[in-house]
Every structure is written in C-alpha cells, then in structure tokens.
Structure 1
Amino acid sequence: MRKPKKLLNNPDAVAREQFEGFMAAVDHLEPVGSYTAAFRKDFCSDKVAIVTGGGAGHEPMYGGYVGAGLADAVAIGDVFAAPSPDVIIETCSALNPNKGVIFVYGNYAGDNMNFDIAAELLEDDDIKSHTVRINDDVISAPKSNSVERRGIAGALYVLKAAGAAADMYHEFDDVVAATEKALKHTASVGVALGPCAIPRNDTFNFEIADDEIEIGMGLHGEPGVGKSKLGTADETVSTLMDKLHKDLDLHAGDEVCVLVNNLGASTQMELLIANRAVNNYLNDNGIAVYDCLVGNYCTSLEMSGYSISLFKLDEQLKCLYDASCHSFALRK
C-alpha cells in the first residue's frame, strides 16, 4: 500500500514551522507572542477589525489574506485543527479594536466552538463582535439548510469584501451587512482525485481508486455526493457548474468572478483547462466573467483536485472587490 511522503522535520511541529516560514516571507505582520498568530503592523484601532483563522494545512488560507484591504489578524491552529480560544483572544487584544471585531472563518465545529468562546469573552470586556461563518460549499447541505454547509475557497471573496468594507464604511453594522452579503453571493464546489494525509499520520485520510473521482469532497476528506468514474475535464466542470449555476440562481446578464482553486496536488495545466471549461459554460449561458483567479488559494495538503467558486456581483460588491489590497497571497 502506498504511504504518504513529505519532506519535513518534526511532524508534530509542522504548524509552528510553516508559520515561522510564513512570517519570514512577510514584513507587514507582527506575531502575537509565541502563538501561531499575527496581526497587521499598520492596523488602525479606529476601524472595524476583521479577524480570521482556522487550522493549518490550507495554505495560503488564512494567513495569506491578512494585510491592507483584507483581514487584520489571523489565529492559526494545528493541522486541520481550530485555534484555541486563548490564541483568538490574544490576537484580538493585540489589535485593541475600539470599533469592534468581525470574525470570518470556515463553518467547522471546532472553529465555531472556539471562536464563539472568544466572542463571549470579548463581550465581557465590552468589545462588540459579529461572526460570519463561511458556508460556501453547496454540496455539503441543501440551500434550505445552508447553516450546515462547510466553508471552502470562497472565503477569499468574503474576506476581500469584509476588508474593503472595513476601510470604506465607518459603522460596524454597515461592515457586517457587506460581509454577510458577500457570503450570500458566493458559492463553491470541489472535486477530489486523490487523498491527503496529516503529517504525523502514515496513512491517507481517505481512499479513492485511480479511476475514480468524488464530487463535493471536503477539505479534510469529508464525503461529497459519492464516487464516480473519472471522465473528461469538460464533463466534470459541467457537473460542478450546474450546481453553482442553480445555487446562485444565475441568469443571462449576470456578472461573476471566478476562482479555480488547486486543492494541493493538481497541475497548473489541469487548472487552466478547468478555467477554460468554466468560462465556456458561463459564456454559453450569457453570464459575464468580470475577473478570474487560478491557482493555490485554499489547499488541503497534497489532495489532488480543485474547487470552483463563483462570486455573483452587483455594484456594491464589485466596488468592494475592486478595492486595493496587499497580502502574501492576494494583491490588487
């Protein structure tokens, strides 16, 4: 049986070492004590703070989206594990957010619990907060029960809108409304071709045959709609796009941003072929493509496959998307 192979040091120190490497690559962030957490050096306490976070293993999510026009701070947990409430609280304290905090993170049980604890403790200190749980994965639950959906690569669009809104709007409720609106206009779905493995494990998280794919598999190997035989790129993308088209209720004349995101081990060639199919699908349906992003934006270790996210635009969201930003993983 094939076993995972990674070039590491101590498998138990992966989250710490990748964070140290990340911090060595940026000059606009300050670490939070000895935690795997950081905040913007230039943060102004007179604006609403956008704080994000989650488990390591999804790089460049989430630390890669901390910077001007994006998130203001990040708290990172172990591989595929939520940051602790202490880390989140210390990260918020480092910002000294006079106008409140908006938490933006993926909708997973551990993250929900720990960020909720942090939010309660902030309220005890008279710091208001609001939570936006990313739930863009259309496969993981029906739209009627969207609160149960997982968060995947569409988080990029929500963080982009939240960061821009925090710069543009003075009122806390206005920033919250813009962030929530961006979430409702974002939908994603993925396809897995091969498994991933947590660094300290000597087996893969799941099994999938060489001639199979799974539509809708989650970032940690959570089940999708089931396995099917490997087909062509165009056939696969068409299946994914049908689900996004329906979920966002797209019509001719609508305008969207497109994200083709590598889950970790797929090639640039595969991503670009997928992007070709996505654009052809949208053009055939009279839907305009405003912008495309293709590459590694929210990975899952060495999982093979990709996700597609659509961000349905209106004039407000287009303005927020077009606003300048500067971070490790995204610059406009």
Structure 2
Amino acid sequence: MESLMSSRHRVGPTGLVLVGATLVVMLGACGGGPVVTPAPAPEPAPVVVEPVRAPTRVMLPARMARTTWQVTTRARISASAETRGDTRGDARGDTRSTSNIDSRALVSWTLERAGNGALRGTGQVDSFTVRSTLDSVGNLTNDPTNRSTNTPTNSAMASPANNNRPPGLLLLDAVVDSVSHRVVTRPLLPNECDRPELSAVALAKDVLVRIPDGLAVGDRWRDSTVSLVCRTGVPITIHTVTQSVVERLDQDRLLINRTITATLDGKGGSAFRGFELTGTSSGTQRLRVHPVSGVLETIDGTSTLTLQVTERTPSGIPRTQHVVQQMELKAERVAR
C-alpha cells in the first residue's frame, strides 16, 4: 500500500504538470489557437522607371503663347572716306573714324505656326534704347552716353532723322516663311525712310525663326528672302540667304546653327546729291529652342558687314566711303 501511495505521490506531480501543460494548450486554443509565427512578407517587385525618350524629330506646337526676350546688339563700325580730285586718282581729304552703337529692347511675340515653320503673329517692342559714340552729323564724340537712332548702316550716310527719339512702345505684325521675313508697325508708318522705329523693328525680327516639322539631327533647310530698306532717301534691296542645321535634339533642348549671308544694293538721292551703295554681309548664329513648347530660349550671333557708298554731286567730284561693321547679337527669354 505504501508502495502504491508512494508511487502515486511520485506520479501526482507529473500528472499535475501534464494537466497544467494541457490547460495551457487549451487556454491557448480558447484564445484563438496556438501562436503561429507569420511567414516573412515577400519583397515588393522593383519599380522600373521608363526613361524619358528623347524626340527623334522636331514637332513643335501650332501656337506659341506670348513670350518676351531681351535683345541686345553691339556694333563696332570703322569708316574711311576719300574724295577723288581727278582722274589720276589723287585722294584729298581722306578721313577715318570708328564708333560703337549699342542697342537694347524688350521684344514680345504671340505667334501662330504652320507645319512648314511659317510664322504669323503680333508683338511689341518697349524699353528700346540706343547708345552711340556717333553724333547726328557722323562725328565722334567724347560722351559715350550720347543717344543716336542710327542703325548700323546709317553711319555711312548721315540722316537728318538721327535727332528723332526712339519709340517708347511699338506694336508690330509679322509674317515669316521661306521667302519672306516681314515685320511692320501697327499702324503702318506713312514713310519708312530714315525712321527711328526701324531700329526697333530690326531687333524684333531677330527672334522670329522658321523651324519646319519633321527635322532630325543633321537635317538642313534654307530660307531666301528679299527686303527693302531706305537710308537718306536711298532705297536699298537686301537679298538674304539663311542656311540652318539641327545640331542636337533631346528632351531638354533643340540646338540649331545658322549661317547667314546677304548682299546689299541701292541707288537714289536727287539731282543735286546722289548715292550708290553696294555691300556684303556674313554671320553665324547659335539658337537654343525648347523642343516641347517651341519657345526660343537664346540666340548668340556675330556678323560682319562691308559697305561701299559713293556720293555724287554736280561738281563732279565723287566721295566714297568704306564701312566695316562688326556686330554681336544676343537674345534671351525673360519672364514677364
């Protein structure tokens, strides 16, 4: 008996432990079952970002919202004049001079664009200033802030209109295609000869660039235009050829290089004072255009113009002036 009791005493604690263990398991079941360690969550698949594909061809929008540029030109002009005394070619009264002309303006355009790059739109020029070391009679002065409305070619033919003030605000209309690059004032000027507004018009024309659709890197196109200007009563015909090539095209920029050549020819005046003019010009420009909006961002260019102007009077003694103009052009889009 004692042996049996002793055996039960030994087994009892073990049974309690087992019972206790069973209770623990049962309590766990009442609480929702055994605690199960969750399997690790699968790692998310890597996000693949497709790179922005650069355009391979130029496709610019049909409408360009109003955009403003600051356009500046800096011209250095060297002129020499000689008067022939007789048929032996003796020169008398030779003169030489140099001058600088700096022009600056804010130019704004709103444009409609065709698939061939032709432009039509309205614009304006304001904050137009010209600073020159050339006075109204073509002589050098010591005042670098002296203002003159001479255009670069006016130095060869002093104009009585030089004393006019530059316009404060000039409204413009434009039509540009492969054979025309025409910008006119609104309303039209009754007489476009020797008007100071034409200097402002010239700055506004510089930012109008024809870019056809469908171009790729290396593609070229050509514009050939004819324009008429008037200086000192002399009508001048200007034939201009512009060769353009796409240097680079990506999602951020369209880079275009342009080579521009021109010939000038004019004859006019009166029975008492006649002029004959011939000249050539050559230059290069580098343009940056936004490939999505079609907005011209910047222009950097240089050019050289060579003119020969002969003045004839009833005295029969011709006076010839040789002019070389070197000019820098810069245009940059600004926020307004």
Query: How would you bin the TM-score normalised by the shorter chain?
Result: under 0.3
Higher helix share goes to which structure? 1
Q: Normalised by the size of structure 1, how large is the TM-score?
A: 0.27
Structure showing greater radius of gyration is 2
- TM-score norm. by structure 2 comes to 0.27
